[in-house]
Amino acid sequence: MSKLSPGLGTWGDRVKSELSKLDVKSLGRVGVLLGGRSGEREISLMSGNGVLEALLSKGVDAHAFDPGLRCPTELAKEKFDRVFISLHGRYGEDGTIQGLLELLNLPYTGSGVLASALSIDKIATKQIWLSNGLSTPDFEELTAASDWNTVVKKLGLPLIVKPAHEGSSLGLTKVTSVDELPGAYQLAASLDKKVIAETCIVGDELTCPLVGQGDTAEALPVIKIIPPQANYDFHHKYFSNETQYLCPTGLAPEVNEHVQELALAAYKALGCRTWGRADVMLDQKTGKPYLLEMNTSPGMTSHSLVPMAAKAADIEYADLVLWLLKQTLQQEGAAA
Does the annotation mark 78 as catalytic? no
Catalytic residue (choose from 108, 185, 232, 238): 238
| 208-242 per-residue burial string, b: 16 or more CB within 10 A, e: under 16 | bbbbbbeeebbbbbbbbbebeeeebbbebbbeeee
Tally of CB atoms within 10 A around 252? 10
3-state secondary structure of 294: strand
Catalytic residue among 279, 290, 297, 319: 279
Spot the catalytic one: 36, 38, 39, 40.
40
> Cβ–Cβ contacts within 10 Å for residue 128, how many?
19
Whether residue 261 lies in the annotated active site: no
Identify the active-site residue in 121, 192, 198, 293: 293
Whether residue 210 contacts residue 264, with contact meaning beta carbons closer than 8 Å, is answered with yes
* Dihedral over Cα of 230, 234, 237, 241: its sign: negative
Does the active-site annotation cover 168? yes
* Number of continuous H segments (helices) and E segments (strands) in the chain: 12, 13
Catalytic residue, from 119, 295, 297, 304: name it. 295
Active site residue 215: no
183 is catalytic: no
Whether omega for the bond prior to residue 158 falls within 30 degrees of 0, making it cis, is yes
From the candidates 277, 304, 317, 319, which is the catalytic residue? 277
The type of residue at 248 is: P
In sequence order, the β-bridge partners of residue 175 are 159
Q: Is 40 a catalytic residue?
A: yes
CA 190: distance to chain centroid? Answer: 23
**Of residues 44, 299, 317, 319, which has the active-site annotation?**
299
Is residue 279 flagged as an active site residue?
A: yes
Long-range CB contact pairs, 111-114, < 8 A, 24+? 111/270, 111/271, 111/272, 111/273, 111/274, 111/276, 111/296, 112/271, 112/273, 112/336, 114/271
The conformation of residue 193, written as its DSSP 8-state character, comes to: S
Q: Which of 86, 116, 168, 297 is catalytic?
A: 168
Straight-line distance from the first to the last Cα atom of the chain, in angstroms, rounded to the nearest whole number: 29
Distances in Å between the alpha carbon of 334 and those of 26, 172, 211, 297?
A: 17, 40, 20, 22
Q: Is 320 exposed, middle or buried (0-12, 13-18, 19+ CB in 10 A)?
A: buried
Give the residue numbers annotated as catalytic, written as ranges: 40, 168, 238, 277, 279, 293, 295, 299
